[in-house]
Structure 1
Amino acid sequence: MLKLFSKNFWDVLARLILRNKIGILIFVVLITLLLSTQWKHMRFTYTEANLLPDEHEVNLTYNNFLDVFGEEGNLVILGIKDNKLYTVETLNAWNNLAQNFKNNPSVASVVSIKDLQKLIKNNELKKFDVQPFIKDSVKTQQELNRLKGDLFEKYPFYDNFLFNNAEVKTIRSAIYLKKDIVNTQARKDFIIDDLLPKIKAFEETYKVNVRISGMPYIRTLNAQNIVDEIGLFVAAALFVTSLIFFFFFRSFRATIISLIVVCIGVMWTLGFLGLLHYEITVLTALIPPLIIVIGIPNCIFLINKYQHEVKLHGNKVKSLQRVITKVGNATLMTNVTTASGFATFIITESKLLKEFGVVASLSIIAIFILCLLIIPILYTFLPYPKPRHLNHLNKRWIGAFVDWMERMVKERRIAIYSIAFVLIVTSIIGIFQIKISGSLIEDMPKKTEFFEDIRFFEEEFDGVMPVEIMIDTKRKKGVMKLATLKRMNELEEFINEIPELSKPVSVVSLVKYAKQAYYNGNPEYYDLPSSQENTFILQYVKNSGATDANLLSNFVDSTGQYARITTFMKDIGTDKMKTIEENIQTEIYKLFPEERYDVIMTGKALVFQKGTTYLVKNLALSLSLAVVLIALFMAFMFRSARMIIVSLIPNLLPLVVTAGLMGYLGVPIKPSTILVFSIAFGISVDDTIHFLAKYRQELLANNWRIKRSVYAALRETGVSMFYTSIVLFFGFSVFTISSFGGTVALGALVSVTLLFAMLSNLLLLPSLLLSLERSIANKEVFKEPSINIIPAEDDDAEENDILK
Structure 2
Amino acid sequence: MRDPRNTPANPAESLARFDRASGSFIERALFNHRPLVMLLCLLITLALGWQATRLDFNASFEKMIPVSHPFIVNYQEHRQELSGLGNAVRVAVVNTGGDIYDADYQQTLQQLNDEIYLLPGVDRAFMRSLWTPSTRWVGVTEMGLEGGPVIPDGYDGSPRSLDDLRRNISRSNEIGQLVAFDQRSSIIYVPLLPTTPDGQPLDYSRLSSQLEELRDKYASDRIEIRITGFAKVVGDLIEGLRQILLFFAAAILITGAVLYWYTRCVRSTLLVMACSLTAVIWQLGLLPLLGYQLDPYSVLVPFLVFAIGISHGAQKMNGIMQDIGRGMHRLVAARFTFRRLFIAGLTALVSDAVGFAVLMTIDIPVIQDLAVTASIGVAVLIITNLVLLPILLSYLGVDAHAAQRSLRSEQAEAAGTVRHPLWRFLDLFTTRRWATGCVLVAALMATGGYLIGLNLKVGDLDAGAPELRSDSRYNRDNAYITAHYGASSDVFAVMVKTPVGGCAAYDTLKRVDDLDWRLRALPGVESTNSLAQLNRRVLVGLSEGNPKWYELVNNQATLNMITGGAPRGLYNEDCSLLTQYAYLSDHKADTLTSVVDEVQAFAEENNSEQARFLLAAGSAGIEAATNIVVQQANREMLFYVYGAVILLCLVTFRSWRAVVCAVLPLMLTSILCEALMVGLGIGLKVATLPVIALGVGIGVDYALYVMSIMLARIRSGDSLSQAYYRALVFTGKVVMLTGVTLAIGVGTWIFSPIKFQADMGVLLAFMFIWNMVGALVLLPALAWFLFPEARGLAPADEASAGATDRAGAAPLVVAVPLAEPAVRQSERQGC
Please confirm whether the aligned pair reaches a TM-score higher than 0.5, indicating the same fold.
Answer: yes
Matched, 1:191 2:215: no
Q: Does 1:423 align with 2:445?
A: yes
Name the amino acid aligned to 2:78: F
Please give the secondary structure, in 2, of the residue aligned with 1:471. strand
Structure 1 residue 143: Cα displacement: 6.2
Secondary structure of residue in 2 paired with 1:84 = coil
CA contact (8 A) 1:127 1:540 kept: no
Work out whether 1:624 is the aligned partner of 2:639. yes
* 1:92-131 equivalence runs, <5 A: 92-104=107-119, 106-107=121-122, 108=124, 110-115=127-132, 116-119=135-138, 128=146, 130=148
Residue number in structure 1 paired with 2:336 = 322
Amino acid at match of 1:618: A
Cα-to-partner distance string for 1:260-314 (whole Å, 9 max, x where unaligned): 2122211222233223323433432221111011100111111112221111115
Q: 1:561: Cα distance to partner?
A: 1.8
Distance in 2, matches of 1:266 and 1:719, equals 25
User: Deviation string for 1:80-106 (max 9, x for gaps)?
Assistant: 455514344334333333234344564
Q: Letter of the 1:403 partner, please give it.
A: R
Q: Deviations over 1:292-338 (max 9, x none)?
A: 11100111111112221111115222122223222323322222222
Residues in 1 aligned to 2:658 and 2:189: alpha-carbon distance in whole angstroms: 65
Cα distance change of structure 1 residues 172 and 712 upon mapping to structure 2, 3 Å threshold: closer
For 1:502 and 1:422, how far apart are their aligned partners in 2?
Answer: 44
Match of 1:28 among 7, 16, 41: 41
Cα distance in 2 for partners of 1:582, 1:383 equals 65
1:272 equivalenced with 2:286 (yes/no)? yes
Q: Distance in 2 between matches of 1:659 and 1:465?
A: 27
Offset, 1:215: 3.6
The 5 Å alignment of 1:391-406 reads 391=405, 393-394=407-408, 399-406=420-427
Q: Do residues 505 (structure 1) and 505 (structure 2) align?
A: no
Quick one: distance in 1 between partners of 2:449 and 2:119? 56
Q: Is the Cα–Cα contact under 8 Å of residues 341 and 626 in structure 1 kept in the other structure? A: yes
Structure 1 602/364 Cα, relative in aligned 2: closer, same or farther at 3 Å?
same
Is this contact kept in 1: 2:524–2:584, CA < 8 A?
Answer: yes
Distance apart, 1:538 and its partner CA: 6.0
- Quick one: which amino acid aligns to residue 426 of structure 2? M
Deviations 1:662-691, CA, capped at 9 Å, x for gaps: 334433333333333332233323233222
- Counterpart in 1 of 2:650? 635
Paired position in structure 1 for 2:86: 73
- CA distance, structure 1, for counterparts of residue 613 and residue 251 of structure 2: 50
Match of 1:711 among 725, 729, 740: 725
Alignment CA distance shift 1:211-1:326 (3 Å): same
Is the 2:347–2:649 contact (alpha carbons within 8 Å) kept by the matching residues of 1? no
Counterpart CA distance in 2 for 1:531 and 1:768 is 74
Query: Using the alignment, how far apart are the partners of 2:205 and 2:758 within structure 1?
Result: 29
- The residue type paired with residue 369 of structure 2 is E
**Structure 2 CA distance for partners of 1:162 and 1:524, relative to 1, 3 Å:** farther
Task: Rate the CA distance shift 1:380–1:198 in 2: closer, same or farther, 3 A.
Answer: same
Match of residue 457 from structure 2: 435
Q: Which amino acid aligns with 1:257?
A: L
Q: Which residue of 1 aligns with 2:105?
A: 90
Residue matched to 1:4:
none
CA-CA distance at 1:42 after TM superposition: 4.3
Contact 1:337 1:630 in 2 (8 A): yes
Q: Does 1:689 align with 2:707?
A: no
From 548, 560, 569, the equivalent of 2:584 is: 569
- Preserved CA contact (<8 Å) 1:474 1:598: no
User: Normalising to structure 1: TM-score of the pair?
Assistant: 0.84
Q: Which amino acid aligns with 2:148?
A: V
The letter for the 1-side match of 2:524 is E
Matched residue type, 2:499: K
Q: Which position in structure 2 is the counterpart of 1:754?
A: 768
Summarize deviations over 1:29-65 as a string: whole Å, max 9, x none: 333344456543646222155453x433233222123
Q: Which amino acid aligns with 1:155?
A: R
Cα displacement string for residues 381-440 of structure 1 (whole angstroms, at most 9, x for unaligned residues): 436524257535538999442233225645744543443344234323322332322579
Shift, 1:224, TM fit: 4.6
Gaps of 5+ in 2: 1-19, 413-417, 793-817
Report if aligned partners of 1:707, 1:770 keep a CA contact under 8 Å in 2: no
Change (3 A) 1:393 1:581: same
- The yes-or-no answer on 1:252 pairing with 2:277 is no
**Alpha-carbon distance between aligned partners in 2 of 1:177 and 1:437, rounded to the nearest angstrom:** 24
Would you say 1:474 and 2:499 are equivalent positions?
A: yes
| Paired residue secondary structure (1:210) | strand
Say which SS state the counterpart of residue 582 (structure 1) adopts.
helix
Give the aligned partner of residue 489 of structure 2.
464
Structure 1 position 511, deviation (Å):
5.4
Separation of aligned partners in 2, 1:541 and 1:329:
72
Q: Note the 1:147-158 alignment, pairs <5 A.
A: 150-151=167-168, 154-155=170-171, 157-158=173-174
- 1:285 is aligned, of 276, 282, 299, to 299
1:371 aligns with 2:385: yes
SS for the counterpart of 2:504 is coil
Q: 1:294 aligns with which of 301, 304, 308?
A: 308
Q: How far is the alpha carbon of 1:367 from its aligned partner? A: 1.1
- Give yes or no for contact 2:732–2:776 (8 Å, CA) kept in 1: yes
Aligned-partner SS, 2:223: coil
1 CA distance for matches of 2:179 and 2:57?
A: 38
TM-score normalised to the size of structure 2? 0.81
Check whether the contact 1:438–1:609 (CA below 8 A) recurs between aligned residues.
no
Match of 1:449 in 2: 473
What are structure 1's unaligned runs of at least 5 residues? Answer: 1-6, 543-547, 779-788, 799-804
> Residue type of the partner of 2:771?
A
Query: 2:527 aligns to what SS in structure 1?
Result: coil
User: Structure 1: how far apart are the matches of 2:349 and 2:145?
Assistant: 75
Contact 1:437 1:668 in 2 (8 A): yes
Give the superposition deviation at 1:600.
0.9
The reply to whether residue 614 of structure 1 matches residue 629 of structure 2 is: yes
In structure 2, do the counterparts of structure 1 residues 751 and 190 end up closer, same or farther at CA, with 3 Å as the change threshold?
Answer: closer
- Checking the alignment, whether the CA contact within 8 Å between 2:713 and 2:822 is kept in structure 1 is no
Q: Which amino acid aligns with 2:114?
A: Q
Aligned 8 A contact 1:76 1:174 in 2: yes
Counterparts of 2:81 and 2:166, CA distance in 1: 38
User: Identity of paired residues, percent?
Assistant: 16
In the alignment, the residues of structure 2 paired with residue 383 and residue 436 of structure 1 have an alpha-carbon distance, to the nearest angstrom, of 51
One-letter code aligned to 2:333? S
Question: 1:713 & 1:106 partners in 2: Cα distance?
Answer: 59
Q: 1:769 to 1:31 in 2, by over 3 A?
A: same
In structure 2, C-alpha distance between the alignment counterparts of 1:212 and 1:267, rounded to whole Å: 36
Helix, strand or coil: the match of 1:792? helix
Q: Specify the code of the residue in structure 2 equivalent to 1:406.
A: D
Q: CA deviation at 1:200?
A: 1.5
- Give the secondary structure class of the aligned counterpart of 1:498: coil
Secondary structure class of the residue paired with 1:158: coil
Decide whether the 8 Å contact of 2:434 with 2:781 is kept in 1. Answer: no
**How many aligned positions are there?**
764
Change (3 A) 1:501 1:390: farther
Please give the per-residue CA displacement for 1:203-246, whole angstroms capped at 9, x wherever unaligned.
Answer: 13x443221123443344345545x2553453343233223222
| 1:176-204 deviation line (CA, Å, top 9, x unaligned) | 44575499554637733533212222213
Q: Is the 8 A contact 2:69 2:625 kept in 1?
A: no
CA distance in 1, matches of 2:89, 2:823: 72
Aligned residue number for residue 698 of structure 1: 713
Structure 1 residues 653 and 106: CA distance shift in structure 2, 3 A: closer
Offset at residue 370 of structure 1 (A): 0.8
**Matched residues in 2 for 1:231 and 1:322: separation?**
37
Check conservation: 2:49, 2:281, Cα contact below 8 A: yes
Segment drifting more, 254-263 vs 26-35: 26-35
Task: Specify whether residues 247 and 447 from structure 1 end up closer, same or farther in structure 2 by C-alpha distance, changes over 3 A only.
Answer: farther
